[in-house]
Chain A
Amino acid sequence: MSKPKLAYYLAGGCGGCDIAVVDLSETLVDVALAVDIVFWAPTVADAKYKDLEAMPDGSIDVGLITGNVRNSEHDHIVKVMRKKCKVLIAYGICATSGGIKSLVNLYTTEQLLDKAYVDTMSTDNPDKVIPQTSCIVDSKYDLTLPALFDAKPLDQVVSVDYYIGGCPPHYDHVKTAFTALLTGQLPPPGSWITSGKALCEVCGRNPVLTGKPKKFTTTIKRTFEGTPTEGACLLEEGYLCLGPITQGDCGVKCPNANMPCRGCGGPIPGVKDFGTRAISAIASMLEKEELVDEIPDPVHLFYRYTLAGSALGKKLNR
C-alpha cells in the first residue's frame, strides 16, 4: 500500500505549529517515514505554490492548514488546498478560531497600516507611504502584493474536516492526533481532535479532583500581584484562568508555571463561541457582581484566541 500523501500550508500564522510537529522529536522520524510529504510551505519543504496548483484534485490524502486567512494569497492557497486534499484539518488555534492574530479585527486595515507605517514613534515616513496591492517601480517594474482583509478562521473560507486547537498544540497532543490520522481512528467529520476534557479536569490545582469544595473568586488579581499559593486553584486565588472552558490537551503547562490559562486550546466540546462561554463561566465564579468591573481589558482576555470565529467578531464597531 502506498503511503498517505500529506500537504501542509502555513497561512496567517507564526510557524509555532510547525515547530510543534518538529517537537515530536524521535516520533517525527516514524511520522516522516509513514507519510509522503508532497507540500510543506513556506517553512519546511522547498515547494512552490505553482507545484501545489499543478497537482491533480483530490490527490492528497491529508492537508494541514495552520494560521488564519488574512489576505488574498492565503485565501487562494487555502482554496487550492481544499481542492487537492481529501481530508482538510485546521491545525492550531489560528486556523480553527482566528488566533491572536485575529485581534486585528478590532481595527480596520487602514487603522492598522497607519499605526505600523506612519504613526509609530520610531517611524520616519514623511510621505506616508503604505503598502499597495500593486505598484510600478521606476516606471517599468510591475510589483504586486496580496490584498489585506479581516482575519478569518479557516472554516469561514472552506469546509474543514477536523479541528486541532492549541497555540501551538502540545507535542503529545500532536502525537495523539497524528496517530489517530494514520490509523484511521478519527471522530466524525467536523469534530475537534481532543481528549474532550477541560483543562480544569486535568489540572492538579483543581480542588474538586481531591474532593475539596470549590470556592468563589473573591478578588481579581493581575498576574504580577502576589504569588499564587502552591497547588491552589488560580481562579480561587483571583487570577482569571480560562481553564473551565478550554480544552485540556496542553499538558496544563501554564497553570503549572503559575500562569492562568488564556484559552489557546480552543473551546471544550459543545461550546461554539468560546468568548461568550468564557465570560459566562468566569462571571458565575465571582463572589459578587461588582468584581466584573475590575476585570482589566475583557476583549483581550476572553477573545484573545477566538475573536474572528466569534459572534462578537461580526459586530465590532470600529
Chain B
Amino acid sequence: MQTIEINPMTRLEGHGKIKIFLDDKGNVDNAFMQVVEFMGYEKFLKGMPIEEVPRTVCTICGV
C-alpha cells in the first residue's frame, strides 16, 4: 500500500504527523493524524503547592 507522510504538521505548537494510505488507483483509502508528543503534567505536578501550578502549566503550550 502506497503511503504519503506529512511530518511534521507545521505552523502550530505541538508535534503531529499525517499518514495517508493510497489504494491501487492512487486514491485516498484512509488517513490518520497522529499527535507524536506526550508530556505528563498530570503526574509530575503531584505534590506541587497549588499556588505554583498556574505559572507551571502555562508551559503546556507557550503560543
Contact = CB atoms under 8 A, between A and B. Distances in A.
Nearest to A11: B15
A42 B12 contact: yes
B51 A71 contact: no
A100 B56 contact: yes
Contact of A15 (B21, B36, B45, B62): B62
Central interface residue in A14, A45, A71, A137, by most chain B CB within 10 Å: A14
B15 to A, nearest CB: 6
A107 B43 contact: yes
Interface stretch (A16-24, A79-87, A173-181): A16-24
B56 A15 contact: no
A247 B15 CA distance: 30
Interface in A275-318: 296-297, 299-301, 304
Contacts of B25: none
Contacts of B16: 42
Contacts of B61: 14-15
Interface residues of B, number: 39
Given A48-B6, A297-B48, A104 B40 contact: yes
A48 B37 contact: no
B59 to A, nearest CB: 5
A266 to B, nearest CB: 15
Contacts of B60: 14
Central interface residue in B16, B39, B40, B61, by most chain A CB within 10 Å: B40
A73 interface: yes
Contacts of B52: 223, 262, 297, 300-301
B10 A45 contact: yes
The size bracket of the interface on A is 35 or more
Nearest to B15: A42
A43 B13 contact: yes
Interface in A88-114: 99-101, 103-104, 106-107, 111-113
B37 A107 contact: no
A100 B30 CA distance: 37
Interface stretch (A140-148, A154-162, A183-191, A211-219): A140-148
Interface string B17-60: 00101000000001010101111101111011101100110111
A131 B12 contact: no
A145 B11 contact: no
B39 A104 contact: yes
A100 B58 CA distance: 10
A46 B38 contact: no
A73 B40 contact: no
A259 interface: yes
B30 A42 contact: no
A88 B49 CA distance: 36
28 contacts: A10-B15, A15-B13, A15-B63, A16-B58, A16-B59, A18-B13, A19-B63, A42-B11, A42-B14, A44-B10, A48-B6, A48-B10, A49-B7, A71-B36, A71-B38, A73-B15, A103-B45, A106-B44, A107-B40, A115-B42, A143-B19, A145-B34, A146-B36, A148-B38, A223-B51, A223-B52, A299-B47, A301-B52
Query: Which 10 A-B pairs have CB atoms at the shortest separation, nearest pair first?
Result: A16-B62, A15-B13, A14-B62, A112-B40, A115-B43, A42-B8, A103-B44, A15-B63, A104-B40, A300-B48
Given A42-B13, A300-B49, 5 more contacts: A43-B13, A43-B63, A101-B39, A103-B45, A222-B51
Interface of B: 1, 6-16, 19, 21, 30, 32, 34, 36-40, 42-45, 47-49, 51-52, 55-56, 58-63
